[in-house]
């Protein structure tokens, strides 16, 4: 049986595709000499691995958790004469970190960055019958020259850093395309006049037909002439707004000559109005939870599609309406289920591990990787904001020019002017649409005092309110009155169900369940009932390895009665009145 057999991207799906997950040949390259040694010409590698699971994971069949500088993959792929009538595209959902592709001994190309998809047209390299696909991957989380997110730079996991991922960790698939085909589209929904504008690119030229429907009922169509690029607008005969907690998606069918793509969009708008962040004109308090996107058996990769859906459902069960997808670019299939279920999320980038004060490194990794991430996920209505950086601790006060934070913020707004962008979550705001802070203060009274002034007068002097951060943040936490603000990390209450004494969390652990719930309730209500606060993000949804501050265990077993947290979180927020 093929692992993860579903199509990897329901936002952009064709019938002419083939899943290449499953058993591949595999070999470690600890000397980082495979290319020089021409292993890409070898007829067989030493070991086997189950793709799309990384070699550090148990599901891969290997489970090697020490540092891995380089690895090799090989798979024999058969093509028929019918297959080769079309263009043959080889897709990789994500490969960590620097990938080099060879087909039948010939180098096709390379891709740097561990979190975004890439593809190569391999039509000229393949023939009828057996073909050798060879992928070489280099990875060095300790170099400071690549984004690693929460991957540990120490031998073992520690604190809030976890087991590493090397190599392929998302689906690999083939697509068979006519010479003239649609390359991509972006949807710009308009909730005011119930329409959608569609901008896209094609190869060649010709007529492109686009049809929309909602739950099987046709809602509009158009035909336009496309030559390299096109723009089309469809007035929608029925208006169905995408709603938080409900979803609501329009299906799209795109036909261009012999090419046919199925897709979808949501009729959704995000807009800032003073202290409020409006979703379709409505003030929605963002009851977010931190989701790390790790799995006990697959690490970065969910073992099944059901596991992706379950992570959203257990969050909803605890009374949250969304998540910060933290220090990781989540796979498109997760976002698809968020779109369907009306689950709001913030798209982030795993900037940890990269020395962002070295702008040469940043330009090659953050700029390219973040651009690919925003481009990939632009059409997901569940994404209500972007956050390219998180806690840029290595960007110290000796830096006066703030160049890279300004640059990436500006880049994000040019790529997507439809969503708010936080320049860097937690500290070192330079230019941002939304002001956010992180605090793991465990005393509810002290915690509440930090934000009391903001609720009463709209003044947000977090550095003064939190003396432990003085003078470190005094220069950096500059707040302009009237800007929307929220606490995007708080809580992190330690609760080790196994009482192993080896678990890690923030602050002192409560002695009883009742004490835990009381602390959670008081911390959360300080934010819910603050009339100027538009949201919160609790740390975190589930435990990850040694970090035991989740409301669920790493196996997604609830630690408490989730109805209690649902009732706390579901209380009306002051800003929603």
- CATH code for the domain of 242: 2.60.40.10
- The confidence score (pLDDT) of residue 470 equals 44
What 3-state DSSP class applies to 453?
Answer: helix
Please give the Cα distance from 211 to 514 (Å, whole number). Answer: 55
- The confidence score (pLDDT) of residue 471 equals 43
- The confidence score (pLDDT) of residue 294 equals 98
- Report the percent of the chain where pLDDT is more than 70: 95
Tell me: pLDDT of 50 over 60. yes
In a domain, 375, yes or no: yes
Domain boundary among 170, 202, 220: 170
Tell me: pLDDT of 400 over 90. no
243 and 354 in a single domain? The answer is: no
382 and 407 in a single domain? The answer is: yes
Tell me: pLDDT of 405 over 80. yes
Please give the Cα distance from 403 to 428 (Å, whole number). Answer: 12
Return the minimum-mean-pLDDT range out of 72-86, 260-274, 352-366.
Answer: 352-366
Contact 171, 113 (CB under 8 A): no
Tell me the pLDDT of the chain averaged across its residues.
Answer: 94
- The confidence score (pLDDT) of residue 402 equals 65
- Tell me how many domains the chain contains: 3
| Per-residue pLDDT tens digits for 255-264 | 999 999 999 9
Cβ count near 459 (within 10 Å)? 12
In a domain, 186, yes or no: yes
367 and 512 in a single domain? The answer is: yes
Q: What is the mean pLDDT of residues 544-566?
A: 97
In a domain, 9, yes or no: no
| Per-residue pLDDT tens digits for 68-108 | 999 999 999 999 999 999 999 999 999 999 999 999 999 99
Longest dimension (CA), the chain: 72
Q: What is the CATH number of the domain that holds 58?
A: 2.60.120.260
In a domain, 383, yes or no: yes
495 and 370 in a single domain? The answer is: yes
In a domain, 17, yes or no: no
255 and 353 in a single domain? The answer is: no
397 and 442 in a single domain? The answer is: yes
Domain boundary among 223, 239, 271: 271
- Report the percent of the chain where pLDDT is more than 90: 86
Q: What is the CATH number of the domain that holds 361?
A: 3.20.20.80
Please give the Cα distance from 95 to 80 (Å, whole number). Answer: 27
322 and 261 in a single domain? The answer is: no
- The confidence score (pLDDT) of residue 472 equals 42
Cβ count near 441 (within 10 Å)? 18
CA-CA-CA-CA torsion for 339, 340, 344, 348, nearest 10 degrees?
-40
Range of the domain at 46: 22-170
Give the 3-state DSSP-derived string for 6-50, with helices as H, strands as E and coil as C: CCCCCCCECCCEEECCEEEEEEECCCCCCCCCCHHHCCCCCEEEE
Q: Which regions of 236-308 does DSSP assign to beta strands (E)?
A: 250-256, 259-265, 270-273, 276-279, 282-283, 286-291
Please give the Cα distance from 257 to 186 (Å, whole number). Answer: 20
In a domain, 225, yes or no: yes
Please give the Cα distance from 91 to 77 (Å, whole number). Answer: 14
Return the minimum-mean-pLDDT range out of 2-6, 384-388, 474-478.
Answer: 474-478
How many angstroms separate the Cα of 142 from the Cα of each of 147, 358, 548? Answer: 10, 15, 25
- The confidence score (pLDDT) of residue 358 equals 73
Give the residue from 138, 135, 137, 171 showing the smallest Cα distance to 22. Answer: 171
In a domain, 255, yes or no: yes
Q: What is the mean pLDDT of residues 289-305?
A: 98
Q: Look at 1 and 319; give whichever has higher pLDDT.
A: 319
Q: How confident is the model at residue 502 (pLDDT cuts 50, 70, 90)?
A: confident
Please give the Cα distance from 404 to 239 (Å, whole number). Answer: 41
In a domain, 3, yes or no: no
Tell me: pLDDT of 298 over 60. yes
332: phi then psi, degrees, rounded to nearest 5: -55, -30
Burial letters 534-562, b for 16+ CB under 10 A, else e? bbbbbbbbbbbbbbbbbbbbbebebbbeb
318 and 363 in a single domain? The answer is: yes
266 and 288 in a single domain? The answer is: no
Give 137's strand partners.
71, 99
222 and 334 in a single domain? The answer is: no
Highest-confidence range of 158-172, 389-403, 465-479, by mean pLDDT? 158-172
520: phi then psi, degrees, rounded to nearest 5: -60, -45
- The confidence score (pLDDT) of residue 465 equals 53
Both tokens of residue 506? 């923030």
142 and 190 in a single domain? The answer is: no
393 and 418 in a single domain? The answer is: yes
Edge-to-edge strands of the sheet including 270-273? 270-273, 276-279, 282-283
| Per-residue pLDDT tens digits for 119-159 | 999 999 999 999 999 999 999 999 989 999 999 999 999 99
Domain boundary among 236, 271, 306: 271
Q: What is the mean pLDDT of residues 501-518?
A: 90
Task: Enumerate residues 6+ apart whose C-beta is below 8 A from 23.
Answer: 48, 49, 50, 51
């Amino acid at each position: 049986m093929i692992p993860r057999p579903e199509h990897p991207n329901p936002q952009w799906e064709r019938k002419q595709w083939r899943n290449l997950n499953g058993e591949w040949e595999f070999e470690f390259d600890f000397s980082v000499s495979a290319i020089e040694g021409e292993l890409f010409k070898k007829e067989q590698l030493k070991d086997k691995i189950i793709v799309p699971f990384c070699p550090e994971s148990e599901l891969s069949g290997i489970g090697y958790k020490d540092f891995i500088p380089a690895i090799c993959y090989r798979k024999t792929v058969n093509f028929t004469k019918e297959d080769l009538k079309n263009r043959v595209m080889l897709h990789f959902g994500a490969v960590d970190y620097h990938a080099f592709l060879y087909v039948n001994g010939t180098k096709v190309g390379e891709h740097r960055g561990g979190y975004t998809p890439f593809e190569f047209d391999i039509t000229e390299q393949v023939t009828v019958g057996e073909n050798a696909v060879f992928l070489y991957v280099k990875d060095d989380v300790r170099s400071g020259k690549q984004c690693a997110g929460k991957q540990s730079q120490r031998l073992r996991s520690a604190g809030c850093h976890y087991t590493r991922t090397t190599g392929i960790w998302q689906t690999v698939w083939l697509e068979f395309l006519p010479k003239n085909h649609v390359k991509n589209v972006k949807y710009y929904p308009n909730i005011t006049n119930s329409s959608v504008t569609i901008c896209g690119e094609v190869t060649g030229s010709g007529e492109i037909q686009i049809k929309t429907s909602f739950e099987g009922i046709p809602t509009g169509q158009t035909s336009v002439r496309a030559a390299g690029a096109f723009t089309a607008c469809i007035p929608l005969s029925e208006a169905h707004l995408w709603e938080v907690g409900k979803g609501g998606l329009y299906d799209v069918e795109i036909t261009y000559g012999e090419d046919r793509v199925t897709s979808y969009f949501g009729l959704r708008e995000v807009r800032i109005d003073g202290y409020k962040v409006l979703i379709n004109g409505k003030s929605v308090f963002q009851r977010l939870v931190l989701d790390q996107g790790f799995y006990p058996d697959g690490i970065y990769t969910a073992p099944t599609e059901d596991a992706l859906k379950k992570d959203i459902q257990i969050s909803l069960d605890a009374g949250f309406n969304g998540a910060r997808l933290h220090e990781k670019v989540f796979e498109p299939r997760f976002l698809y289920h968020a779109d369907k279920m009306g689950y709001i999320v913030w798209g982030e980038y795993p900037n940890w591990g990269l020395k962002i004060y070295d702008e040469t490194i940043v330009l090659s990794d953050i700029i390219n990787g973040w651009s690919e991430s925003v481009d990939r996920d632009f059409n997901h209505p569940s994404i209500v904001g972007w956050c390219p950086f998180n806690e840029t601790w290595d960007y110290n006060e000796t830096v006066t020019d703030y160049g890279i934070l300004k640059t990436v913020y500006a880049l994000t707004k040019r790529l997507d002017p439809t969503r708010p962008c936080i320049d860097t979550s937690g500290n070192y705001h330079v230019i941002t649409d939304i002001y956010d802070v992180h605090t793991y203060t465990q005393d509810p009274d002290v915690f509440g005092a930090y934000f009391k002034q903001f609720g009463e007068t709209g003044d947000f002097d977090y550095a003064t309110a939190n003396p432990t951060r003085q003078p470190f943040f005094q220069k950096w936490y500059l707040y302009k009155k009237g800007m929307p603000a929220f606490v995007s990390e708080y809580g992190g209450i330690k609760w080790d169900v196994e009482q192993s004494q080896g678990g890690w969390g923030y602050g002192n652990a409560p002695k009883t369940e009742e004490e835990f719930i009381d602390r959670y309730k008081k911390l959360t209500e300080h934010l819910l009932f603050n009339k100027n606060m538009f949201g919160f993000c609790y740390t975190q949804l589930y435990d990850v390895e040694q970090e035991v501050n989740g409301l669920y265990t790493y196996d997604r077993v609830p630690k408490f009665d989730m109805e209690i947290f649902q009732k706390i979180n579901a209380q009306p927020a002051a800003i929603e009145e």
